[in-house]
Structure 1
Amino acid sequence: MSDEGRIPVFVERRTYRRRRMADAARMLPLLGGLLFCLPLLWSVDGPPSTTASMFYLFSIWVLLCLVSAMISRRLPVDAASSEPDIQNEGR
């Protein structure tokens, strides 16, 4: 078999990182939802204190805001237009 007609398996590093950042941005709300539901599983010896629960929820909220700000800074402004449109490619 000849390697001349093959398409390279690897993509450009910049494109790969941009796609992974977009994937991280899409997964962040799911991670946040899971982390916000975590206090429901805390009741080992009775319900946790309201102070501990509120401190945890506020900390998670701030952490999610910071992570989303970091991800949004690393994504290009025209991320939607820089990706090739696969659906309209055959038209």
Structure 2
Amino acid sequence: MSERPKHLFLERQSYRRRRLIDLIRMCPVIGAILWAVPLLWRTDGAEQISTSDAVVYVFLVWLGLVLMSAFLARALRDGGDADGDGS
């Protein structure tokens, strides 16, 4: 009487492509969280972080996001080419 649930099989390439797209969608969230980190830094006392250090941090995060986006876009494009070959 009880039927076994059908298992959904996803091809490895399709599964990896979907996870890569999920990671690309998370990039703005990751960037927003990383850009908010300087708001948690101390602004008074002996262990104060200078404004110039905060600006350098923000631009390094920006550069990291650009590089990560370029890498992920290339990986997504290369993965799409493999699907077109029938491999």
Give the TM bin, normalised by the shorter chain. Answer: 0.7 to 0.9
By how many angstroms is 1:41 displaced? Answer: 0.2
Q: Which residue in 2 is equivalent to 1:58?
A: 59
Q: Which residue in 2 is equivalent to 1:26?
A: 25
Q: Aligned runs of 1:1-91 on 2, under 5 Å?
A: 7-43=6-42, 45-46=44-45, 47-76=48-77
Select the structure that is richer in helix. 2
SS in 2 for 1:76: helix
By how many angstroms is 1:2 displaced? Answer: 7.1
Please give the alpha-carbon distance, in whole angstroms, between the structure 2 residues aligned to 1:23 and 1:9: 19
Gaps spanning 5+ residues in structure 1: where?
83-91
Q: How many residues align?
A: 77
By how many angstroms is 1:7 displaced? Answer: 3.6
Please give the alpha-carbon distance, in whole angstroms, between the structure 2 residues aligned to 1:42 and 1:11: 45
- Report percent identity of matched pairs: 40
Gaps spanning 5+ residues in structure 2: where?
none
By how many angstroms is 1:55 displaced? Answer: 1.1
Provide, for residues 50-87 of structure 1, a one-character-per-residue CA deviation record: whole Å limited to 9, x for no partner. 1110111111001000001011111138x7xx9xxxxx
Please give the alpha-carbon distance, in whole angstroms, between the structure 2 residues aligned to 1:2 and 1:43: 60
Provide, for residues 19-42 of structure 1, a one-character-per-residue CA deviation record: whole Å limited to 9, x for no partner. 001000100000001100110001
Please give the alpha-carbon distance, in whole angstroms, between the structure 2 residues aligned to 1:10 and 1:29: 30
- Give the TM-score of the pair, scaled to structure 1: 0.70
